[in-house]
Amino acid sequence: MAELEFQNDHIKFCCSICLDLLKDPTTIPCGHNYCMRCIKAHWDAEDTKQAHSCPQCRQTFTPRPFLMKNTMLAELVEELERIR
């Protein structure tokens, strides 16, 4: 049962780009969360389009949103890693 809970938590705090636990998590305007490095790389690849999209819901953002670390989410991920 505890293993199932851990797997569910891992999925909740997983980056859909790299499929690993979030590292320096950031929340983009649509509400989805990614590793800072992953979403920056994704958006760098889209720079020529002048519009940046969410890899999950495909919502587009113009201009490119400013990204900040989601510190509350980072603390939750750190706690999950500790109990792992």
**What are the boundaries of each domain within the chain?**
2-83
Model-level pTM?
0.85
Q: Is the peptide bond before 63 cis (omega within 30 degrees of 0)?
A: yes
The CA distance from 41 to 78, in Å, is 23
The fraction of the chain above a pLDDT of 90, given in percent, is 74
pLDDT of residue 67: 97
Question: Domain 2-83 class?
Answer: alpha beta
Relative to beta strand 25-27, strand 60-61 is: unpaired
Q: What is the mean pLDDT of the chain?
A: 90
